Structure 1
Amino acid sequence: MTTTEAVSSENGSARPRPTGIYDGAVTEPQTPITDRARDYLNLDSLFTAEELAQRDKVRAFVDARIRPNIAQWYEDAHFPVEIAREFGDLGLLGMHLKGYGCPGRSSVEYGLTALELEAGDSGLRTFVSVQGSLAMSAIHKHGSEEQKQQWLPGMATGELIGCFGLTEPTAGSDPAGMVTHAVRDGSDWVLNGAKRWIGLASVAQVAIIWATTEDGVRGFVVPTDTPGFTATPIEPKLSMRASIQCDITLTDVRLPADAMLPNVVGLKGPFACLNEARYGIIWGAMGAARDSYETALRYMLDRKQFDTPLAGFQLSQRRLTDMVLEIQKGILVALQTGRLKDAGTLHPQQISFGKLNNVREAIAICREARAMLGGNGITLDYSPLRHANNLESVRTYEGTDEVHTLIMGQAITGLPAYR
């Protein structure tokens, strides 16, 4: 029998919780995971000491701050807003950007950070992605010097939270179909429209909103306390429960002329930011996969059936082997993508390779790990089903499987097949 302990929820009720599991609440000895099982090909040897130090710093934070709390946050559909300042203190917000208080770390260091954060939970990694790769990146890439000075330092510390409004209720995979529009009224701009599935919008102080104008698609920096701006959390959700996604309505939102991002026109503006976010997903998905695999492996080593550890059965070893193969390959894909990015030679079509492959394989690993846990796998005492549910969102946002398949198909054949 598995021993249990009582864990109290916020409403005072208690539920039994297995001990000795990989969620930060370990109270019984576990069979250790060997170096071979953790890193079969010694991929750590491919990273620099500085890269490994960054990874280990974030891993320690996840172990101390996220693992002990994530089951309750997920169950309560709670995003801990205070963690933004903690991420800022660690230098994780806009960490791949330079200047304006941003850490200026490498793409590989950012990728390893994303991997470790998503080993904790996709929702927490998504916050770092929305803040740094989308909202901050838009200002950093396309904003004026005044906009950068006004917003980026506070966003880098987590004092200010940003969101990124591109997707609409009727325009997801085809952002060219957006209906949100901005028109001139004297020297001002007036925005009207709607956005959907916008991360962090209800807790953000600033929103980057993309809208059509008579000159093409333009981005606008919108303080969220501007009259006419409304953000409503989307509830209930079966995925990303420890994160916030919102509907935004824009009703005669009046902005000064200098609210527009001056340095880009057209969809290449938001796409440049999306590629930053997609890059982080390549790494993050492998974090969810690794955590699910290690959870299943520990369970297989510790639990006995027919007087034999589950890990000693042939079918268990086949499943674990398949997981190791895909995780190690996925990290190699992420690393090569990161090295290309740091060298300035990465093409957007190559990002699609990693996003499509790694998220698809990660979901399969998380589902298989859940199955290996039997009935226990459907509880929040174990991470794989939570990871699998979260990855359904990750698989959808920043380009669906179908979109990335067609991006790759066009790159391979030279023929677009979107219509």
Structure 2
Amino acid sequence: MTAVIDHPDYFLLDADLSDADRALRDKVREFGRNSIEPIINDYWQRAEFPDVVLPGLRDLGIIGTFIQGYGCPGLSRHAAGLVAREMGRVDGSVNTFLGVHSNLGMGSIYMLGNEEQRQRWLPPLARLEKTGAFALTEPRHGSDSVSLETSARREGDTWIINGHKRWIGNGHAADVIVLYARDESDGEVKAFIVEKQNGAYPSGYVPTVITGKIGKRAINQADIVIENLRIPTENRLEHCESFAGVTRVLNATRGGASWEAVGHGMAAFEIAARYSLERDQFGSPIAGYQLVQEKLATMLSDLTSMQLMCTRMAELQERGELTTAMASLVKLTTSRKALEMCRTARDMLAGNGLLLDHHVARHLTDMEVVSTYEGTDSMQALIVGRDITGLSAFTRTSRR
């Protein structure tokens, strides 16, 4: 039982990892346990990002994940998933920072920028000399991001941007923000880079940290008011001419939340199983009671199904065969199962499960966030439903 608790990989999926991927997994896992876990509760409680971990994250060689060149590791989809899994297993806030910085922010520049733009921004971001953000979501447009209202108007060698962004991870502190806006002249979505100069944002970019969150408290999101923000034309990412550019980035980074959910599920199982062996009630460990064993077996079953789905998802991504609906099914399944696992683990720890010292409460509230971003469970279900029936529930009269 001890091996299962310490390494919950019941179907031995990690046994098929290459030596390089196994080394990557172990390196990230060790860093998480030694450098993040001992400090994260304090930062989480204060709602502050642990900047002290940035040098260590840089030295792991994982920044930029799937990007080839520019100081990035060019990881496979499976290897990138392992990074998200192991980070989620320790803390969701740090994993969200990595997803925003490495995948969405740097990924936008890599896929939508020209060569000069890639050379200009990607190397310092890969070295974490600068941090990045991805500004797409708006107060009125979350799941319906294609309807974004932030506008851009060209005047000579400058673009004038007006609008409002919300829930932008690291959007209050990043040095390089990829900001999406709709061109007033043709109605198409374009991407722009907002840069700090001498430690300050340009006039017209006003971020405010969103307070009062119950989950992922160690990574801050910003509400950003944009008023007559002037961006030079060389800061418009050349290869984004419509919302299709946004879709390219989202498709390329799809799956990160599912892998993170696996990590939270692994943590929940480990915490609950270990606690059940250590906690005595009525003269014996609670692990010996039928109710507890049934809960642990159900948790392990759910975790194993999540691991299998994510492994298959990575294989399909590498072959270019993963569809949007497939990815939605994985996100739907992993987020629901991981959230239920965290709730079960919290229940098994009873009052102790409410304390940050036992970590499970942090994983539980962080999973509430994972279940929301990259599309809520309900939205994922509608995407799968459209694939099943050929009928879209987003617009009642449309077919796919």
Q: What TM bracket, shorter-length normalisation?
A: over 0.9
Q: Distance in 1 between matches of 2:359 and 2:247?
A: 32
- Whether 1:84 and 2:54 are equivalent positions in the alignment is yes
2:297 partner SS: helix
Counterpart AA for 1:405: A
Match of 1:142 among 95, 101, 112: 112
- What is the aligned partner in structure 2 of residue 384 from structure 1? 360
Between stretches 204-213 and 265-274, larger displacement belongs to 265-274
1:393 partner SS: helix
- What is the aligned partner in structure 1 of residue 15 from structure 2? 45
- Whether 1:222 and 2:194 are equivalent positions in the alignment is yes
Match of 1:320 among 273, 296, 302: 296
8 Å contact from structure 2 (residues 35, 53) kept in 1: no
Match of 1:311 among 287, 292, 299: 287
Q: Give the Å deviation of 1:236.
A: 1.9
Match of 1:100 among 67, 70, 74: 70
Moved over 6 A (4+): none
Query: Where do 1:159-174 residues align within 5 Å?
Result: 159-174=129-144
Query: Where do 1:113-152 residues align within 5 Å?
Result: 113-152=83-122
1:37-95 CA-to-partner distances (Å, cap 9, x unmatched) read 72222222232222111111100000110111111111111101232332122112112
Counterpart AA for 1:60: E
Match of 2:160 among 168, 190, 200: 190
8 Å contact from structure 2 (residues 4, 10) kept in 1: no
Q: Distance in 2 between matches of 1:319 and 1:270?
A: 41
Identity %: 39
Taking structure 1 as the reference length, what is the TM-score of the superposition? 0.90
Gaps of 5+ in 2: 396-400
1:345 partner SS: coil
1:38 partner SS: coil
8 Å contact from structure 1 (residues 278, 355) kept in 2: no
8 Å contact from structure 1 (residues 51, 109) kept in 2: yes
Q: Distance in 1 between matches of 2:343 and 2:250?
A: 27
1:360-400 CA-to-partner distances (Å, cap 9, x unmatched) read 11000000000000110000011222111111111111111
- Whether 1:175 and 2:150 are equivalent positions in the alignment is no
Q: Distance in 1 between matches of 2:104 and 2:240?
A: 15
- What is the aligned partner in structure 2 of residue 348 from structure 1? 324
Q: Distance in 2 between matches of 1:38 and 1:177?
A: 42
Q: Give the Å deviation of 1:274.
A: 2.4
Between stretches 400-409 and 284-293, larger displacement belongs to 400-409
Q: Give the Å deviation of 1:35.
A: 6.9
Q: Distance in 2 between matches of 1:361 and 1:38?
A: 15
8 Å contact from structure 2 (residues 208, 223) kept in 1: yes
1:336-358 CA-to-partner distances (Å, cap 9, x unmatched) read 11111122222222211111110
Match of 2:247 among 271, 279, 290: 271
Q: Distance in 1 between matches of 2:258 and 2:247?
A: 16
2:224 partner SS: strand
1:133-181 CA-to-partner distances (Å, cap 9, x unmatched) read 1000000000011110111001111111110111001111111322110
Match of 1:358 among 334, 342, 345: 334
- What is the aligned partner in structure 2 of residue 331 from structure 1? 307
- Whether 1:252 and 2:228 are equivalent positions in the alignment is yes
Counterpart AA for 2:38: P
1:3-52 CA-to-partner distances (Å, cap 9, x unmatched) read xxxxxxxxxxxxxxxxxxxxxxxxxxxx9444797222222223222211
Counterpart AA for 2:218: A
- Whether 1:62 and 2:32 are equivalent positions in the alignment is yes
Between stretches 166-175 and 263-272, larger displacement belongs to 263-272
- Whether 1:410 and 2:386 are equivalent positions in the alignment is yes
- What is the aligned partner in structure 1 of residue 123 from structure 2? 153
- What is the aligned partner in structure 1 of residue 180 from structure 2? 210
Counterpart AA for 1:321: A
Counterpart AA for 1:361: K
Counterpart AA for 1:174: D
1:263 partner SS: coil
Counterpart AA for 2:374: E
Between stretches 132-141 and 83-92, larger displacement belongs to 83-92
2:141 partner SS: coil
Q: Give the Å deviation of 1:264.
A: 2.3
Would you say how many aligned residue pairs link Structure 1 and Structure 2? Answer: 389
Q: Distance in 2 between matches of 1:34 and 1:193?
A: 51
Match of 1:243 among 186, 200, 219: 219
- What is the aligned partner in structure 1 of residue 398 from structure 2? none
Match of 2:79 among 109, 116, 121: 109
- What is the aligned partner in structure 2 of residue 298 from structure 1? 274
